[in-house]
Amino acid sequence: MQITATLVKDLRDRTGLGMMECKNALVESDGDIEKAIEILRKKGIAKAEKKADRSAHEGAIISYIHPGNKLGVLLEVNCETDFVAVTNDFLTFAKDIAMHIAATNPLSIRREDIDPTLLEREKEIYRAQVREQKKPENIIERIVEGKVDKFYQENCLLEQPFVKDPQSTVKDYLTATIAKIGENINIARFVRFQLGENLQK
């Protein structure tokens, strides 16, 4: 199949990647744009994994204030160079993540950051729920582990479905951005403020 300039442009618009990368993926997929996207995603993940160990000590602190001024987020995102820290791609990513945090209120960035005491309390609740359903003792822990996995997916930032594209996770978006920018990016920390949340009612 002939790979037209229009097809390449369509793929570029959907992925944000370079012309030659898009053209090569379309050649490899015989012009199938969905297969080409999958090829680019796999290559992007491989590239991103190679960059994941590189030091990221530059970056930006981004703020997001939700309309109405009752909810806000402060977020630190790191990259490798001060040049990348001021690019539109990097700043768009950081702003998107800050907005996502405002919308979903994650407990942590990664599952290993979850407070072990909180996790154990959740497990006890799940065990009690499963026993209430009269499930056999030998499968209770397996069911609890499944519920814990779902808890991570709902509460750990990187595992949450990305609000702007629920078919992808925040980690998918991070990986795609690393591949696009060509530098390691690290979501370092965040604080989410909601008006009156610490006040006694």
pLDDT of residue 77: 96
Query: Domain limits at 172?
Result: 58-109+156-194
For residues 68 and 72, give the distance between their C-alpha atoms in angstroms, rounded to a whole number.
10
CB distance 71 to 49 below 8 Å: no
pTM given for the model: 0.70
CATH of the domain at 10: 1.10.8.10
Q: Are residues 65 and 130 in the same domain?
A: no
What lies within 8 Å, CB to CB, of 61 at 6+ separation is: 74, 75, 76
Burial (0-12, 13-18, 19+ Cβ within 10 Å), 201: exposed
The pLDDT value recorded for residue 201 is 47
- Whether 200 is covered by a domain: the verdict is no
pLDDT computed for residue 65 by the predictor: 95
Residues 100 and 139 in one domain: no
Q: What backbone torsions phi and psi does residue 191 show, to the nearest 5 degrees?
A: -135, 135
The pLDDT value given to residue 156: 96
Same domain, 24 and 87: no
Residue-by-residue pLDDT tens, the chain, 201 positions: 678 888 888 877 776 666 777 888 888 888 888 888 788 777 665 555 555 556 667 999 999 999 999 999 999 999 998 899 999 999 999 999 999 999 999 999 999 999 999 999 999 999 888 888 877 878 888 888 899 999 999 999 999 999 999 999 999 999 889 888 888 899 999 999 998 876 654
> How many domains would you assign to the chain?
3
On whether the CB atoms of residues 97 and 187 are closer than 8 A, the answer is yes
Give the span between the Cα atoms of 195 and 201, in whole angstroms. 12
- What dihedral angle (degrees, nearest 10) is formed by the CA atoms of 60, 65, 70, 74? -10
Contact 149, 71 (CB under 8 A): no
